[in-house]
A and B are shown apart, each in its own frame.
Chain A
């Protein structure tokens, strides 16, 4: 059974059909990429999955459970973590604190216990820290552990955001343009991490990406969207060869179809 199934999902903002009748399913342990030109609705699909936007119609299920009506803050609990296109970190906290915030769903202490800082809270803090340190080591962020986000370079922030998502301990991670704004070396690094996430952590990766080099390197399957509609699905090579996809990127309609 597929891990994530999106069935005929759509969202309309007034008359604008940002996403219209998109269906796909992501298998467990797979790297699935969504590509498409700017404004195609890729990030919107992410926002639908993470319940930031309400669906106009359609259904999304994760791990056999219907998540269409869940609240945004219930999603992490199920094991779906995400990053954001424009980096949404907590700017006035350190890297370590940011990643500890990723452990929120695993906190089992009430605010009263927190205020009294009972031994249970301390033990929980140690456990959180241990998990976070694993992520710091994995992403080689040791040097930045106690640095404020506000002063970090763009590339590092992107990595911290991935780390924070991983700290949730998810089953699936949604990466919104993980390589945008990164140098060639940095995006190669991202490719390795995605491989490792899948292989060592057993994660399912769903990503939106422009960099076709990265997509071809890591993605098992690719879905191409344009104007909120599905164009093609298949391996990276198949999708790239698809005439509809080429037309969408070049801005012309393929022969025999109205524009």
Chain B
């Protein structure tokens, strides 16, 4: 077990407490950066997809994991980001401007929604976001001149300073672009969480009444969290549009909202790492199911491909198992495993036992 002697407050303020951890991140980044040189087209595309999901996951994580607000409508913000960005590029704006503007626009939209919604809490907010989702979906169909209506539209390919980032012609370039954006957002997210703003999010999550007593404006904090969350989700939506190439409103279905919730829950609520682990899982499982399906078909001769809805079924099973047995998600599991090794052979089974108690009710009489 490693013991760190802290000699200045800066050691606590820094994102990573020692060079070992910083090194690990650098190695990971370097590995990700050289991936296009040895990974095949298929895996590179999957990696890009995973990164985009991780970005969207971070957006939702900020809201659900760190501010304690559940949104069932985040697919709507993916959609707003994607459509805004494509619309801006179609009127001739370059990607470098259209992309951040799409994110900011989505963020402002989200914050504006949050202002009336902040009076609600818990389940009511989740419901309101669901309503927003349905309304946005219908609006997309209504606003046909911009969105292409039911028919959908093409995302133009990205060109920056003469370099093409086309999904099919220059996949490596697109991958690097996505990687850079994800890395920047992750860095900003980590910064946010070690600063007063991030702490005020946690305060609002854990106890509104004492947050107020400490001078935190709960309404403004929630609206800000909503805005930042939806802004990042909007960025992910824009990238998703470019990654898919051609899309209509069906790309942003309620299932995407639920998948995003899956990402943050399975990954581990309240940790940035969780968003990544969740994204890896959610993009890998369909592939694993496909591989298993082929294998079952080839060896046993059972054609499970003919059962519709099996993927969703397996997903649901995984989700239930996580909710019941590992509410801290993959990241929580990882922390436990690591502690177990660090303390070996002194770890005890009950060290991580959860306390179960009667509901801390939210509708106290």
Contacts and interface: CB of A to CB of B under 8 A. Distances in A.
B358 to A, nearest CB: 15
A76 B213 contact: yes
A7 interface: no
A155 to B, nearest CB: 18
B195 A121 contact: yes
A143 B195 CA distance: 24
Interface string A97-134: 10011111101010100111100011011101110000
Nearest to B227: A111
A84 interface: yes
Nearest to A174: B213
B191 A72 contact: no
A109 B214 contact: no
A140 interface: no
A159 to B, nearest CB: 15
B59 interface: no
B192 A111 contact: yes
Interface string A139-171: 000000000000000000000000010001000
Contact of B206 (A84, A90, A124, A130): A90
Q: What's the dominant secondary structure at chain B's contact region?
A: helix
A75 interface: yes
A90 B207 contact: yes
B348 to A, nearest CB: 15
A103 B200 CA distance: 10
Given A74-B215, A76-B214, A97-B202, A84 B188 contact: no
Q: What's the dominant secondary structure at chain A's contact region?
A: helix
**Most chain A CB inside 10 Å of its own CB: which residue of B196, B210, B216, B217:** B196
A81 B213 contact: yes
A130 B9 contact: yes
A168 B215 contact: yes
Contacts of A116: 188, 191
B270 A84 contact: no
Nearest to B198: A114
B206 A126 contact: no
Interface of B: 9-10, 12-13, 188, 191-192, 194-200, 202-203, 205-207, 209-218, 224, 228, 270
Given A72-B212, A88-B210, A168-B214, 12 more contacts: A50-B213, A82-B213, A89-B206, A91-B207, A92-B206, A96-B12, A100-B199, A101-B214, A114-B195, A115-B192, A126-B10, A164-B214
27 contacts: A72-B213, A73-B211, A73-B212, A73-B217, A76-B215, A81-B213, A84-B209, A84-B213, A92-B205, A92-B270, A93-B202, A100-B196, A100-B199, A103-B196, A105-B214, A107-B196, A109-B195, A109-B196, A111-B228, A114-B197, A115-B188, A116-B191, A124-B196, A125-B9, A126-B9, A129-B13, A130-B9
